[in-house]
Structure 1
Amino acid sequence: MSGQPRTHSTAAKDLNTMIELAVFDMAGTTVDDHGIVYIALKDAVEETGAPVSAADLQEWMGADKVSAITALMKLGGQEPDGGRVAAAFVRFREILAERYAATPPVALPGVAEAIETLRGRGIKVALTTGFDDGVAYPLLESLGWAVGAGEGTMVDAVVTTSDVAQGRPAPYMIHRAMERTGVHNVRAVLAAGDTVVDMQAGRNAGAIAVGVLTGKLGRAELAAVSHDHILAGVADVPGLAETQPGA
């Protein structure tokens, strides 16, 4: 069974005995942004003259947005030189801000309770995102989610693309989350997200890779990627009976 994708575990160990850190993606995983990030990315790229197919858009969701814009422009037949990419990224942030103002993001059902449960067990919780600081922190502020180890905080750490040399599917954001929360063992980390690159980042980091069905992808699409578990959502993480990858 080692190396084969798994949708569930047969072990009866409680999650608290195995996991020191749960790392969750933001949009589509912990936050319902009403699909606005997809719209903003597609619109910003298409303003450069590059058509964006649904398949290509989905492939690059979850990645850092500069890399996504660069790839989608190239796929659409446009030259992604630095100036054009930078301008498209500015437009992405403008479109995102306008649409978020009109339709504010909200926490997905059960997420706040799940995070509270995990932290109550002594499990650290970190958020990672394909957004940079300028997008991620205002979004968290709008949700009322404070970051830190003190009383009244929502999560222990947040890692954005501003913090790393390369975003997903590289493992660096997960490893930075480990650094910020003092967790040393990658096998004691669970990483969950709603996109292919989220799951690839988890696998690349050596963590327990979990797909959740609260984004745009269905079970069959997520199951095609190497993984340890596929869950309905983050709300199900506290009840997960977990084994280590490769066990």
Structure 2
Amino acid sequence: MTTELVVLDLAGTTVVDDGLVVRAFTAAIGSAGVSEVDERFPAMLAHVNATMGQSKITVFRALLPTEELAQRANTEFERAYADLVAAGECKPVPGAEEVIRGLRHGGVKVALTTGFAPVTQQAILEALGWRDLADLALAPGEGRRGRPYPDLVLTAVLRLGVTDVRHVAVAGDTPSDVRTGLSAGARVVAGVLTGAGTRAELTEAGATHVLDSVRDLPDVLD
């Protein structure tokens, strides 16, 4: 069956995470009054690791008692992550750019998605010189729910004129990425081992394939 669209996650899948999310979270939760020595911090960090890939404002709403604190932490997270990107700590997963270019050259459309806010997604793409690399870049917002909901994948399907969700492949490094692909009806839902998820976690989430890297995705599609 022909693949018309590939939907790829950013951090951990096509972009090296290297602890940047945890560092930005530490700064963010500190702005809400929870330091690294606070007894609440380990459980909060565990929740962040367990929900990697999901919309960050949703994560902070689950952790903090008020909307004001959640919004404050989310704003600080985006600022801290943007600072890390600006400092040059954002690098592509080896081979990711070549995979995206190869897919598009072969007539497959590519969408890049994230759980970050749109401004952070754009900062990452700018830092990597990827603004025009894919056909579409999507983040939660404007009525789109983040992972594990299917909204980002289905928005890409609609905007890029895909004829059938069974012609879609999704790849990401977290169980949330896998659940998003499955709920959207994608034929291929691949977990990759370059980010947060383990082989066991991705398999348990229902991944159709578990790959060492996004570099292996074209072989699955073929």
Pairwise same-fold verdict (TM > 0.5): yes
2:37 is equivalent to residue 35 of structure 1: no
Contact (CA 8 Å) 1:61, 1:68: kept in 2 or not?
no
The Cα of 1:178 is off from its aligned counterpart by: 1.0
SS in 1 for 2:141: helix
- 1:51 equivalent in structure 2: 41
- 1:105 equivalent in structure 2: 90
Q: How far does the alpha carbon of each residue in 1:200-244 deviate from its partner, in whole angstroms, 9 at most, with x for none?
A: 1011111121100010222122212112111111111111156xx
Q: What is the total number of aligned residue pairs between the two structures?
A: 214
Q: Using the alignment, how far apart are the partners of 2:108 and 2:72 within structure 1?
A: 40
SS in 2 for 1:116: helix
- 2:150 equivalent in structure 1: 171
- 1:236 equivalent in structure 2: 216
The structure with the largest alpha-carbon Rg is 1
Q: How far does the alpha carbon of each residue in 1:70-102 deviate from its partner, in whole angstroms, 9 at most, with x for none?
A: 1133xxxxx1x1111111111112221222233
Where does the alignment leave 5 or more consecutive residues of structure 2 unmatched? Answer: 35-39
Q: Using the alignment, how far apart are the partners of 1:42 and 1:198 within structure 2?
A: 23
2:118 is equivalent to residue 133 of structure 1: yes
- 1:18 equivalent in structure 2: 2
Contact (CA 8 Å) 2:85, 2:127: kept in 1 or not?
no
Q: Using the alignment, how far apart are the partners of 1:236 and 1:30 within structure 2?
A: 12
The Cα of 1:162 is off from its aligned counterpart by: 2.6
SS in 1 for 2:116: coil
Contact (CA 8 Å) 1:31, 1:108: kept in 2 or not?
yes
Give the partner amino acid of 2:41.
Answer: P
Q: How far does the alpha carbon of each residue in 1:107-138 deviate from its partner, in whole angstroms, 9 at most, with x for none?
A: 11011111111111111011011011111111
Contact (CA 8 Å) 2:170, 2:190: kept in 1 or not?
yes
Give the partner amino acid of 1:135.
Answer: T
Give the partner amino acid of 1:160.
Answer: A
Contact (CA 8 Å) 2:4, 2:162: kept in 1 or not?
yes
Q: Which has the higher contact order (CA 8 A, sep 6+)?
A: 1
Q: Using the alignment, how far apart are the partners of 1:241 and 1:161 within structure 2?
A: 27
Percentage identity across paired residues of the two chains: 37
Q: Using the alignment, how far apart are the partners of 2:85 and 2:69 within structure 1?
A: 24
Q: Using the alignment, how far apart are the partners of 2:143 and 2:99 within structure 1?
A: 27
Distance verdict in 2 for CA 1:104–1:236, change over 3 Å: same
Q: Using the alignment, how far apart are the partners of 2:137 and 2:26 within structure 1?
A: 26
Q: Using the alignment, how far apart are the partners of 2:70 and 2:190 within structure 1?
A: 32
Distance verdict in 2 for CA 1:90–1:241, change over 3 Å: closer
- 2:201 equivalent in structure 1: 221
- 1:91 equivalent in structure 2: 76
- 1:4 equivalent in structure 2: none
